[in-house]
Amino acid sequence: MSNRRPIVAGNWKMNKTVDESESLAREVAGVVSGVDDVDVVVCPTFTGLDRVSAAVAGTNIEVGGQNVHWESEGAYTGEISTAMLLTAGCSHVILGHSERRQFFGETDETVNRRLRAAIEAGLTPIVCVGESQSERESGTTARVISAQVNGALEGIGSDDVARIVMAYEPVWAIGTGLTATPEQAEEVHAQIRGELAGLAGQSTADGVRIQYGGSVKPDNAVELFSKPDIDGGLIGGASLEADSFAAIVKAAES
């Protein structure tokens, strides 16, 4: 682990009712209360944001949204604005998650538009990139990652790049039980940092935190997080149980 402060975020996806979300948030707060050198974020459904924010108020846990629209308001049925996230207690927002790309038509261009809105609003964006199984098997991982990083961050200045958290989530390792080896993950993380250096300079790139987000579990977290360019995790299924999420958070402690 580098001298960058690790960040572990739980993406609850479309799981947990409002009551269940509040209960899980309180459980998580209890079991990670002693962790003071890792940023901990939970990202519940939109309906759970307000209650979860209230439940973790005064703790070491921050709250994030799972997506945000680029417009401040308007006729965008089913979308949510930066102001809505902020007033619900959010400090972070996930952008460009592979499931948004796969199922809901997200593109590098729309990620870029959402990113600009998040930065302007003062939210910390967690920008996701990653290749599919067919792309990995065809040897185009590096090209895909380069296109996604450069497309998502197009026109973003160095000062704003410094505020972004990146997340590498190989699509083939999300919800499949497969996990990139620590070496595979580190190779792509190092590439992402190189892409950031090309966009914003090496010193800025060296400060950006890059999470790994592909089936992280308590039993593989320590090895993954020990790699020099892996600065924590974006956790899916394992974040839905307080003890497993806490074990991953503690694995990121330096």
Residues involved in catalysis: 97, 169
Q: What are the φ/ψ torsions at residue 77 (nearest 5 degrees)?
A: -55, 130
d(Cα 112, Cα 99) in Å, to the nearest integer?
Answer: 17
Sign of the torsion angle spanned by Cα atoms 226, 228, 229, 232: positive
Q: What are the φ/ψ torsions at residue 143 (nearest 5 degrees)?
A: -65, -40
Structure token pair of residue 35: 């962790």
Buried b / exposed e along 142-157 (16+ C-beta atoms within 10 A): eebbbebbbbbbeebe
Q: Please check whether residue 67 is in contact with residue 94, taking contact to mean a CB–CB distance below 8 angstroms.
A: yes
H helices of 5-132, where?
A: 18-31, 49-56, 82-87, 98-104, 108-121
Sign of the torsion angle spanned by Cα atoms 236, 240, 241, 243: positive
